[in-house]
Amino acid sequence: MSAARVVFVCADTVGELMAGPAIRSVELAAVVSAAGHEAILAAPAGSTLDRAGITLRVWGDEAALRCALADAGVIVVFAPVLADNPWMASLGIPLVVDAYDPGLLETLEQRRGEPFNAQRTWVADASRHLTDALAAADVVLVANDRQRHLIMGMLAASGRLGSRLSAEDPALESFIRCVPFGLPSAPPAVDGRPLRAPFGQLADGAFIAYWGGGLYAWLDPITLIEAVAQCPDPRVSAALLAGPHPTPVVGELPLADVARRRAEELGLVPASVSFIEHWVPYRERGDWLCDADVGVSLHHRHIETEFSFRTRVLDYLWAGLPVVCTEGDVLASLVADRGLGIVVPPDDAAAVAQALSALAGEDPGLAAERRARIAAVASEMTWDQVAKPLVEFCARPRLAPDRRVRTEAGEGVVQRLRRALRIARGRG
**CATH architecture assignment, domain 5-182+383-414:** 3-Layer(aba) Sandwich (3.40)
Sequence-distant (6+) residues with CB within 8 A of 212 are 241, 285, 288, 289, 292, 295, 312, 315, 316
The answer, yes or no, to whether the previous bond of 198 is cis (omega within 30 of 0) is yes
DSSP state of 160: G
User: Model confidence over 215-236: pLDDT tens digits?
Assistant: 988 899 999 999 999 999 999 9
> What are φ and ψ of residue 42, in 5° steps?
-100, 115
Could you tell me where the beta strands, DSSP code E, fall in 245-337? Answer: 273-276, 294-297, 323-326
Give the residue-averaged pLDDT of 164-170.
Answer: 87
CA 357 to chain centre: 30
User: Model confidence over 247-292: pLDDT tens digits?
Assistant: 776 767 778 999 999 999 999 999 999 999 999 999 999 999 999 9
Position 111 pLDDT exceeds 80 = no
Position 404 pLDDT exceeds 90 = no
**Is 5-182+383-414's fold the same as 207-380's?**
yes
> What are φ and ψ of residue 98, in 5° steps?
-90, 110
Predicted confidence at residue 426, as pLDDT, reads 54
Name the helix (H) or strand (E) containing 366.
helix 364-380
Domain 207-380 is classified in which CATH homologous superfamily?
Glycogen Phosphorylase B; (3.40.50.2000)
User: Using alpha carbons only, what angle is made at residue 103 by residues 101 and 109, rounded to the nearest 5 degrees?
Assistant: 120
Sequence-distant (6+) residues with CB within 8 A of 295 are 209, 210, 212, 289, 312, 313, 315, 316, 319, 321, 322, 323, 324, 341
User: Model confidence over 311-336: pLDDT tens digits?
Assistant: 899 999 999 999 999 999 999 999 99
Predicted confidence at residue 407, as pLDDT, reads 54
Name the helix (H) or strand (E) containing 207.
strand 207-211
- For the four alpha carbons of 52, 57, 58 and 62, in that order, the dihedral sign comes to negative
Mean predicted lDDT score pLDDT of the chain: 89
Predicted confidence at residue 249, as pLDDT, reads 67
Angle separating helix axes 364-380 and 330-338, nearest 10 degrees: 130
Dist. CA 14–CA 1, nearest whole Å: 30
Dist. CA 23–CA 13, nearest whole Å: 10
Name the helix (H) or strand (E) containing 44.
strand 38-44
210, 292 Cβ separation under 8 angstroms: yes
Dist. CA 74–CA 55, nearest whole Å: 15
pTM over 0.85: yes
Domain ranges of the chain: 5-182+383-414, 207-380
Predicted confidence at residue 126, as pLDDT, reads 77
Dist. CA 147–CA 141, nearest whole Å: 9
Among the residue ranges 60-69, 120-129, 282-291, the one predicted with the least confidence is 120-129
Is 48 strand, coil or helix? coil
